[in-house]
Amino acid sequence: MRLVADTFGEPESPAVILLHGGGQTRHSWSGVVAPLAEAGYFVVNYDARGHGDSGWSADGVYNYPLRAADLRSIVRELPGPCALLGASMGGITALQAVSEGYEPGALVLVDIVPNAERRGIERIREFMLRHFEGFANADEAAAAVAAYNPNRPKPATSSGLMRNLRAGPDGRLFWHWDPQTIKSNPTEAMAERDTLFKRMRFNPAIPTLLIRGLRSEVVSDAGVAEFRRLLPTLQVADVAKAGHMVAGDDNDVFNEAALNYLQRNFPAAPRTHGD
């Protein structure tokens, strides 16, 4: 499996691995990588299997043990300790690796909890399944995103969205991920997810922060309370004007929460001017 990543900063510095959400690519972290690198971290920002420029599973299998194995393969390439910053699918991947015994220096989870709201997850799946026929152009894709998330700030142009699209042989644009990553049976998908979390072991020795959007349809107060019961050391940062896509909805507040937590629990030496 070929995994494609961008790196930023000095490889000898403490590393932060970025894990994007389902249906996204590494470009969803575009507003996050520079502040992390400026703070002194070596940033590894990769496309998960089946997404972006990384390879697709030949057998169409995309489970979390496989995704955790991909993550561990990246960790093995790093010369020193690292922290994990994972959104949604990426956060579950990080938790899967932790459950299997991996101990990162710190863990930042973005809008994902074990007891997530089913309706919110189903709405995301419905959006991802709705556009298998593709789009005539980037503006049409941007309109679909705006209809799904009307509260998100609208970019001046749709050119940035092109990084999350791929052109088909007929010129139509498709989301840059393998359709097989979305199970056709939502009940089966939710059952698989529930089983995963029931078997999952949480490590209270790992500093763990949950950043959630207060407008999220996926993480509720009840979900946060249940997560705190499972992991009493959990810290929580709320982003008032954000939904499930927290970083993109309010980058400044998100970056401040993530950086402050990492600098307290997994410090790095900030880069000086001219480095």
Report yes or no on 219 lying in a domain.
Answer: yes
pLDDT (tens digit, 9 = 90+) per residue, 47-97?
999 999 999 999 999 999 999 999 999 999 999 999 999 999 999 999 999
Longest dimension (CA), the chain: 54
**158 in any annotated domain:** no
Give the pLDDT score at 231: 94
16 with 83: CB under 8 angstroms? yes
Question: Alpha-carbon distance 245 to 48, whole Å?
Answer: 17
If you average pLDDT over residues 223-244, what whole number do you get?
93
228 within some domain: yes
Q: Which two tokens stand for residue 72?
A: 């561990």
Q: Which residues contact 237 (CB under 8 A, 6 or more apart)?
A: 209, 210, 211, 212, 257, 261
Q: Is residue 31 part of a domain?
A: yes
Burial (CB count <10 Å: 0-12, 13-18, 19+), residue 174: middle
Residue 7 is predicted with a pLDDT of 97
Residue 199, both tokens? 């078997």
Instruction: Yes or no: say if 177 and 52 are a contact pair by the CB < 8 Å rule.
Output: yes
Structural domain total, the chain: 1
Q: Which residues contact 90 (CB under 8 A, 6 or more apart)?
A: 18, 19, 20, 21, 48, 110
In CATH, what number is assigned to the domain containing residue 103? 3.40.50.1820
| pLDDT classification of 155: cutoffs 50, 70, 90 | low
What is the reported pLDDT for 131? 84
For helices 64-75 and 89-99, the axis angle rounded to 10 degrees is 80
pLDDT in tens, 162-206: 888 999 999 999 999 999 998 666 677 777 778 888 888 899 999
Q: For residue 129, is it within any domain?
A: no
| Residues 2 and 54 sit within 8 Å (Cβ to Cβ) | yes
**234-259, pLDDT tens digit by residue?**
999 999 888 888 887 778 899 999 99
Residue 12 domain flag: yes
* Model confidence band, residue 113 (pLDDT cutoffs 50, 70, 90): very high
How much is the pTM? 0.92
Is 93 within the bounds of a domain?
A: yes
Q: Give tens-digit pLDDT for 132-142.
A: 889 999 989 98
Q: Does residue 159 have a pLDDT over 80?
A: no
Residue 138 lies inside a defined structural domain of this protein? no
In this prediction, residue 156 has a pLDDT band, given cuts at 50, 70 and 90, of low
Structural domain boundaries, residue 112: 5-116+186-265
